[in-house]
């Protein structure tokens, strides 16, 4: 087959092409995916694809490619290349007619491939990435091979090595020896926990007290594992502590971050992990944790800028959820399809909106308060919630009983102020809250009150005597409710009697307060809800009703969550013409792209069904995507190197069988548990190789995509800081909770219309792991950004690793790194021995191995120069040791030691996972 010939041979050794063609002509069947599709993608599809269909021709879908073009005749006539217009046009001499138009012609070989393919019947095929992962034929053989044969030596420790070895042998390469134990242990620890190995574990491993496999298990069991892998997931989830856009004020969503850490530490199977995040609210009797998980898609941005239309940004958030879901689980940029059919991949314009329909029916509406938010009641209050639930269940059944607990947890369904319209003497204050003036009015149209006897208002006001009258239909309609809003102490949720009405009604709201000045706002109403009475009767019912109202007004910590719209609030989803949210096309229902696996009858037509579809073993992309990205975390590149994209435009996999083997094992052997997958990888000899290279290896494989050496790349932004804190002994072990604000330079935060400040944390909160650092989207922690961290505005699959002078300035001059250098120096200084011995200790603490004598010579040289400097200038020494707690600590030795510690923490090998 052609694909067996490396491209370079085929193109450079012309005389061979005759032989190849001869082979093709006589026996070889042209493979659509491997041979034809790449040619179409390279030369044809930019004019005959999803965006442009010049001449009425597109090569994106089979039916399009084979149907009549504008000329009336199909371009491809299966079985007859000679008569096919497509082939004729490739041979054409007239530059006006020859294809590709105004570009270099196809090579003879390419034309021949296309001709053969048409002659053989022009069979369409599907791309490997869109075919389900099959059980590997030789799976058992690969596992048995773990004992290795002579030829492969000791290299093959598990199936991975066998696949890697096959490719290396083809290229006449041999794998590298195992990395030295200290280097390997550091690599493993950074990869599994994001932190260097503890002294004790390191000793145990280096002394042979525990095996490599034990070390892997021990590290996978540490809670720091969850923190490290959560950092990866939070980039995908675009988790941040602020809402984004102009005002970018903070949001409390850290409970989601904690949920992710715990899920990793519990080794929650990835299918469950998926279901709970995408649709935890739709599971039967969802737990608080399952509701919290849905905050995954509440990490979308929320626009508070005055004058913005909430619906526009609600739609933007829904589209972001659609796009993110496909980027995260399917390695597919579906975003292109919102304006037109995908230019390269087999997704149609309408299919985007069918996907969007899954996400278009949640309660959140880009409101300032980010409702719905799940309330986390303290223990005492939680008991009260439980007693109300119990009471409701005793006195009512089913959904009617469940309503009361749900309303206490997240206050839905409700109508937001922005649902009001037709303001007269009134306004939507800052386009957010309902503010009527004296004699002012507005409508809430088409509201369903469900016959409720109460209206609950979330509001605040600085004035007494605001009399609100709510009438049916209009100014002359029946009075449904009438009450006075008096001065409040901040926001309150208050209930008022409401005359039960059936069906949908237009409500007319009229405010009176003659004491107000003209155009003065009476009150600011955030939302309204129509709430039934707690079922049952008697004093207990009355007491519990009061408790219900008290609980609603209890301040608790919260997290924004997804809650599906009740039927009466369901939104229709339409195709947006050319991606414009105001131009509605046909109405669509929820559906998944047909090219990515079938939909099973038993799945509900909602987000839950979508989550089942994504984690079904028939879905071709989910398991491959996870495997590829975990591999990339460990090796610095994916088996498909474009880790954000797996499809017709992605790079071909370096080891497709290995990718599929791992994906199959993840689903079937490891039951979707990632620790098993990670262990498979790190236990392999492939992973354990030394990362030393040489000019020959670089020439043959500059990117190390065949893995004849171990991984070597700069550690992540989070790890740069965590590692420095860890080796200096400053790192706090505290987990979870609100994000913290370690020191950052003054004046970095300067956001418009936002009164929030960076309040530097005290005590151990200064030294927490980076994952707990407050992340403001429009102004992230500066030193993290310098090291390529994400600002988390949108999903980020792949952090580009850069190498810049600004990074050097951070680790050389940022007080955070001077403080760590000081504490590392202080530790080393307490050891007995010569200066040289102490420097060796500082190095060993940092790198987990002993320095070479040459390295020590360099460090010692620096130490003595620094020592002289500080001895000569005690004032400079005093200034430099700014972190010393007592003046007795301020010695030239310690200052010089600090300079060296700072140098050690700037070494390439310190900043690199080797």
- For residues 262 to 301, the per-residue mask of contacts with other proteins, x marking binding by CB under 8 A and - elsewhere, is ---------------------------------------x
Q: Is 240 left (phi over 0), alpha (psi -120 to 50) or beta?
A: beta
Taking CB under 8 A as the rule, does residue 809 contact other proteins? yes
Number of residues that bind other proteins (CB under 8 A): 116
Q: Cα separation of 619 and 622, whole Å? A: 6
Identity of the residue, 84 or 632, whose beta carbon is nearer to other proteins in the bound complex: 632
- Distance between alpha carbon 531 and the CA centroid of its chain, in Å? 37
Taking CB under 8 A as the rule, does residue 583 contact other proteins? no
Shortest approach of other proteins to residue 608 CB, angstroms? 28
Taking CB under 8 A as the rule, does residue 808 contact other proteins? yes
Shortest approach of other proteins to residue 801 CB, angstroms? 5
Q: What is the footprint of other proteins within residues 35-64 (CB under 8 A)?
A: 51
CB 845 within 8 A of CB 827: yes
396-417: buried (b, 16+ CB within 10 Å) or exposed (e) per residue? beeeebebbbbbbbbbbbbbbb
- For residues 655 to 694, the per-residue mask of contacts with other proteins, x marking binding by CB under 8 A and - elsewhere, is ------------------------------------xxxx
CB 139 within 8 A of CB 664: yes
Identity of the residue, 73 or 801, whose beta carbon is nearer to other proteins in the bound complex: 801
Q: What is the footprint of other proteins within residues 514-543 (CB under 8 A)?
A: 519
Residue of 855, 871, 889, 893 that binds other proteins (CB under 8 A): 855
Taking CB under 8 A as the rule, does residue 182 contact other proteins? no
Q: Which stretch binds other proteins (CB under 8 A): 188-196, 462-470, 555-563, 869-877?
A: 869-877
Q: Cα separation of 417 and 500, whole Å? A: 21
Taking CB under 8 A as the rule, does residue 757 contact other proteins? no
Q: Compute the Cα dihedral for 323, 326, 331, 337 and give only its sign.
A: negative
Identity of the residue, 580 or 594, whose beta carbon is nearer to other proteins in the bound complex: 580
Q: Which stretch binds other proteins (CB under 8 A): 16-24, 199-207, 741-749, 760-768?
A: 741-749
Say how many CA atoms lie within 13 Å of 437 toward its Cβ. Answer: 11
Q: Is the peptide bond before 372 cis (omega within 30 degrees of 0)?
A: yes
Shortest approach of other proteins to residue 337 CB, angstroms? 12
Q: Which stretch binds other proteins (CB under 8 A): 133-141, 220-228, 257-265, 747-755?
A: 747-755
Identity of the residue, 257 or 777, whose beta carbon is nearer to other proteins in the bound complex: 777
Neighbours of 626 (CB within 10 A): 23
Q: Cα separation of 563 and 487, whole Å? A: 32
Shortest approach of other proteins to residue 599 CB, angstroms? 25
Residue of 83, 491, 698, 733 that binds other proteins (CB under 8 A): 698
CB 192 within 8 A of CB 678: yes
Taking CB under 8 A as the rule, does residue 428 contact other proteins? yes
Q: What is the footprint of other proteins within residues 325-344 (CB under 8 A)?
A: 327, 333, 335-336, 343-344
Residue of 375, 814, 825, 827 that binds other proteins (CB under 8 A): 814
Which residues, including other chains, have CB under 8 Å from residue 888's CB and lie 6 or more apart?
Answer: none
Residue of 445, 812, 889, 891 that binds other proteins (CB under 8 A): 812
Give Dmax (Cα) for the chain: 98
Q: What is the footprint of other proteins within residues 875-914 (CB under 8 A)?
A: 875-882, 895, 899, 902-903, 906-909, 911-912, 914
Taking CB under 8 A as the rule, does residue 813 contact other proteins? yes
Q: Cα separation of 716 and 279, whole Å? A: 31
What separation in angstroms does the CA of 891 have from each of 242, 574, 794, 830? 44, 72, 49, 13
- For residues 222 to 261, the per-residue mask of contacts with other proteins, x marking binding by CB under 8 A and - elsewhere, is ----------------------xxx-x-------------
Q: Cα separation of 841 and 795, whole Å? A: 42
Identity of the residue, 335 or 529, whose beta carbon is nearer to other proteins in the bound complex: 335
Taking CB under 8 A as the rule, does residue 351 contact other proteins? no
Identity of the residue, 331 or 673, whose beta carbon is nearer to other proteins in the bound complex: 331
Taking CB under 8 A as the rule, does residue 791 contact other proteins? yes
What separation in angstroms does the CA of 584 have from each of 356, 365, 572, 577, 756? 14, 19, 11, 6, 39
Q: Cα separation of 357 and 113, whole Å? A: 41
CB 409 within 8 A of CB 291: yes
Q: Cα separation of 407 and 414, whole Å? A: 10
Q: What is the footprint of other proteins within residues 92-151 (CB under 8 A)?
A: 102-104
Residue of 803, 833, 850, 853 that binds other proteins (CB under 8 A): 803
CB-neighbour burial class of residue 754 (10 A; exposed 0-12, middle 13-18, buried 19+)? middle
Q: What is the footprint of other proteins within residues 618-647 (CB under 8 A)?
A: 636-637, 641-642, 644-645, 647
């Amino acid at each position: 087959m052609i694909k067996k010939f490396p491209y370079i041979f085929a193109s450079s050794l012309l005389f061979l092409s005759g032989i190849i063609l001869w082979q093709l002509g006589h026996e070889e069947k042209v493979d659509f995916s491997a041979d034809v599709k790449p040619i179409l993608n390279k030369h044809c599809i930019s004019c005959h694809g999803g965006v442009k269909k010049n001449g009425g021709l597109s090569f994106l879908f089979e039916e399009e490619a084979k149907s009549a073009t504008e000329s009336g005749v199909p371009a491809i006539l299966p079985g007859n290349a000679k008569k096919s217009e497509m082939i004729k046009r490739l041979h054409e001499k007239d530059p006006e007619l020859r294809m590709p138009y105004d570009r270099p012609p196809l090579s003879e070989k390419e034309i021949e491939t296309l001709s053969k393919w048409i002659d053989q019947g022009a069979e369409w095929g599907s791309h490997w990435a869109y075919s389900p992962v099959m059980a590997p034929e030789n799976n058992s053989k690969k596992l048995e091979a773990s004992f290795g044969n002579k030829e492969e030596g000791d290299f093959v420790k598990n199936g991975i090595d066998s696949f890697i070895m096959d490719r290396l042998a083809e290229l006449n390469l041999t794998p590298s020896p195992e990395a030295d134990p200290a280097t390997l242990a550091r690599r493993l620890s950074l990869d599994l926990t994001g932190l260097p190995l503890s002294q004790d574990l390191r000793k145990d491993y280096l002394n042979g007290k525990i095996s490599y496999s034990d070390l892997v298990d021990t590290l996978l069991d540490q809670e720091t594992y969850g923190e490290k892998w959560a950092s990866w997931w939070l980039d995908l989830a675009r988790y941040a502590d602020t809402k984004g856009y102009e005002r970018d004020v903070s949001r409390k969503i850290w409970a989601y971050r904690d949920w992710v850490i715990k899920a990793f530490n519990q080794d929650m199977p990835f299918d469950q992990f998926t279901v709970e995040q995408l649709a935890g609210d739709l599971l039967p009797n969802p737990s608080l944790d399952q509701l919290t998980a849905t905050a995954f898609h509440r990490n979308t941005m929320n626009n508070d800028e005055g004058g913005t239309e909430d619906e526009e940004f609600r739609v933007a958030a829904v589209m972001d959820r659609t796009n993110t879901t496909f980027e995260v689980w399917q390695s597919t940029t579906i975003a292109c399809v919102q304006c037109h059919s995908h230019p390269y991949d087999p997704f149609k314009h309408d299919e985007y909106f069918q996907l969007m329909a899954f996400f278009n029916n949640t309660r959140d509406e880009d409101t300032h308060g980010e409702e719905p938010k799940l309330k986390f009641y303290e223990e005492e209050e939680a008991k009260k919630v439980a007693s109300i639930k119990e009471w409701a269940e005793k006195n009512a059944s089913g959904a009617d009983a469940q309503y009361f607990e749900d309303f206490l947890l997240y206050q839905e369904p409700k109508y937001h102020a922005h649902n009001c319209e037709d303001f007269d003497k009134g306004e939507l204050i800052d386009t957010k809250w309902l503010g009527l003036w004296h004699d002012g009015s507005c409508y809430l149209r088409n509201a369903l009150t469900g016959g409720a006897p109460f209206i609950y208002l979330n509001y605040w006001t600085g004035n007494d005597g605001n009399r609100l009258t709510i009438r049916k239909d209009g100014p002359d309609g029946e009075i449904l409710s009438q009450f006075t809003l008096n001065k409040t102490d901040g926001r309150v949720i208050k209930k008022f009697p409401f005359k039960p009405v059936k069906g949908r009604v237009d409500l007319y709201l009229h405010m009176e307060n003659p004491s107000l000045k003209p155009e003065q706002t009476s009150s600011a109403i955030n939302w309204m809800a129509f709430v039934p009475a707690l079922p049952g009767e008697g004093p207990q019912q009355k007491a519990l009703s009061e408790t219900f109202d008290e609980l609603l007004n209890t301040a608790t910590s919260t997290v924004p969550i997804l809650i599906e719209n009740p039927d009466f609030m369901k939104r229709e989803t339409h195709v947006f013409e050319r991606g414009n949210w105001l131009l509605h096309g046909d109405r669509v229902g929820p559906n998944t792209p047909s090219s990515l696996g079938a939909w099973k009858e038993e799945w509900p037509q909602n987000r839950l069904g979508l989550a089942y579809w994504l984690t079904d073993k028939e879905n071709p992309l989910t398991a491959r995507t996870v495997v590829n990205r975990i591999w990339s975390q460990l090796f610095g590149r994916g088996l498909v190197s474009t880790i954000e994209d797996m499809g017709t435009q992605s790079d071909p996999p370096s080891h497709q069988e290995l990718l599929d083997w791992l994906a199959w094992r993840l689903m079937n052997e490891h039951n979707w548990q990632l620790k098993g997958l990670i262990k498979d990888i790190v236990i392999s000899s492939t992973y354990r190789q030394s990362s030393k290279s040489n000019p020959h290896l670089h020439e043959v494989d500059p990117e190390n995509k065949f893995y004849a050496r171990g991984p070597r790349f700069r550690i992540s932004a989070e790890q740069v800081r965590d590692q420095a804190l860890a080796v200096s002994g400053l790192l706090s072990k505290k987990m979870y909770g609100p994000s913290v604000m370690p020191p950052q330079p003054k004046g970095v935060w300067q956001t418009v219309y936002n009164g929030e400040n960076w309040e530097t944390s005290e005590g151990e909160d200064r030294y927490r792991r980076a994952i707990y650092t407050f992340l403001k989207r429009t102004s992230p922690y500066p030193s993290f950004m310098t090291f390529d961290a994400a600002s988390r505005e949108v999903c980020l699959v792949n952090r580009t690793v850069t190498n810049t002078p600004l990074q050097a300035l951070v680790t050389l001059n940022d007080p955070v790194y001077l403080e760590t250098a000081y504490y590392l120096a202080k530790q080393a200084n307490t050891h007995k021995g010569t200066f040289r011995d102490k420097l060796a200790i500082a190095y060993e603490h940092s790198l987990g191995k002993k320095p070479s004598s040459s390295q020590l010579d360099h460090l010692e040289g620096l130490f003595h120069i620094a020592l002289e400097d500080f001895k000569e200038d005690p004032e400079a020494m005093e200034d430099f040791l700014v972190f010393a707690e007592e003046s007795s600590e301020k010695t030239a030795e310690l200052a010089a030691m600090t300079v060296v510690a700072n140098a050690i923490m700037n070494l390439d090998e310190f900043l690199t996972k080797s």
